[in-house]
Amino acid sequence: MKKITLIPLLVMGLTACGGSSSTTSNTNPSATPALTTSKITGTVPGTRIDAIADNGRTYTVNSVNNGTAKHPFSLELPSGMGYRLVMVTNENTPDEVITPIGFKDAQGTVQTRLKFQAGQTIDLGNVPLAMGHNAAALTDTNHDGVIDSPMILDDVGAKNPLTQVDADKDGVNDFSDSDHGGYKYAIGVIDPLDINHNGVPNVFEDQDGDGIVNAKDNDINGDGILNANDTVTNTDTDHDGIPNIIDADSLTKVVIDSNNDGYMDDDLNRDGFHDSDANRDGYMEDDLNHDGFHDTDTNHDGYYDDDLNHNGEHDSNDRD
């Protein structure tokens, strides 16, 4: 029987930054065919690299300390989803710095959401991150350890990923493709993982202004009630693992991933889309009102109204 699985708000690696080995959370190479994944590579001055997927799951890897100032990293990710990149230096120390990553399109607009084709490797080049609060002082004005706006790869001598990928396979790379909606949201559409559109993912914002980012704050809304006991903070209407308090689309997204492999149960070809999403707009074909549910799912539990045993099929077509 299928079940609705809560996707973790943030899944982080526990290895210290700049360690001697590279580890990736939430990926299982033996369970994920090579053709359904892609890689992001580059070098950094010793750090952790996070890729936050559209479904709220975070994939993470640590750079490899090779004895130089340019530690290499390679992060393997499921293709078909959008990702926001964040890099963390001096992880879990008082001098930790969190740097969101951005890049420009041909119009000079800063983008922070990246998609890519299966089997592709994206090289970010060398990303010269700040290695402490003093080095980050000019770009972290409130001194909370989070850079105020994304580090633009184009401006610091690194490589722009949009020039290396054509996510919609129309022959025009994403840097120049004005009609490609895979790496950016349309005007007026809220990015659920970056509510205020400042390029800093919600989990690294400071919701209550207490100097502690949401990912590490045990009282996100500052009401004096710990998150674990706070019904406001814990409410997750759409069951995507992101609390309503920092989830822009809290009523419109149900992720059913019963085996926890990073893909929706109805994404058998593992391309990041519902199998019934023929035009790849992010919605099932029988979701005409684009609310994230089957049109015949009136109670919004993720199942058809006539799927009483919750196995993902209309009972009239049930083969069990």
Summarised one tens digit per residue, pLDDT across range 119-167 is: 889 999 999 999 989 988 888 888 888 999 999 999 999 999 999 988 7
Superfamily of domain 34-223: Carboxypeptidase-like, regulatory domain (2.60.40.1120)
Cβ contact 146:200 at 8 Å? yes
Rg for the chain, CA atoms, rounded: 20
User: Residue 167 contacts by C-beta under 8 Å, 6 or more apart in sequence?
Assistant: 115, 116, 117, 174, 180, 182, 183
Both structure tokens of 59 = 């994939």
pLDDT-derived band at 277 (thresholds 50, 70, 90) equals confident
pLDDT (average), residues 30-54: 79
C-alpha dist (Å) from residue 87 to 113, 160, 217: 14, 16, 19
Q: What share of the chain is helix, strand, coil (3-state, %, to 5)?
A: 10, 15, 75
Cβ contact 181:170 at 8 Å? no
Average pLDDT, the chain: 75
User: Residue 279 contacts by C-beta under 8 Å, 6 or more apart in sequence?
Assistant: none
Taking the CA atoms of 297, 271, 174 and 84 in sequence, report the sign of the dihedral they define. positive
Residue 119: the pLDDT is: 84
Both structure tokens of 294 = 């089957």
Neighbours of 215 (CB within 10 A): 20
pLDDT-derived band at 271 (thresholds 50, 70, 90) equals low
List pLDDT tens digits, range 177-208.
876 555 566 566 667 778 778 888 888 888 77
Residues in the chain: 320
List pLDDT tens digits, range 286-301.
877 666 677 888 776 7
pTM for the full predicted model: 0.66
Which residues pair with residue 59 across a beta bridge? Answer: 51
Both structure tokens of 130 = 């700040």
Q: What gap in Å lies between CA 46 and CA 67, rounded to an integer? A: 10
Cβ contact 115:81 at 8 Å? yes
Residue 177: the pLDDT is: 84
Residue 11: the pLDDT is: 34
Residue 202: the pLDDT is: 83
**DSSP conformational letter for 231:** H
Burial environment of residue 148 by CB neighbours within 10 A (0 to 12, 13 to 18, 19 or more): middle
Residue 60: the pLDDT is: 93
User: Residue 183 contacts by C-beta under 8 Å, 6 or more apart in sequence?
Assistant: 82, 105, 111, 113, 114, 115, 162, 167, 174
Burial environment of residue 132 by CB neighbours within 10 A (0 to 12, 13 to 18, 19 or more): middle
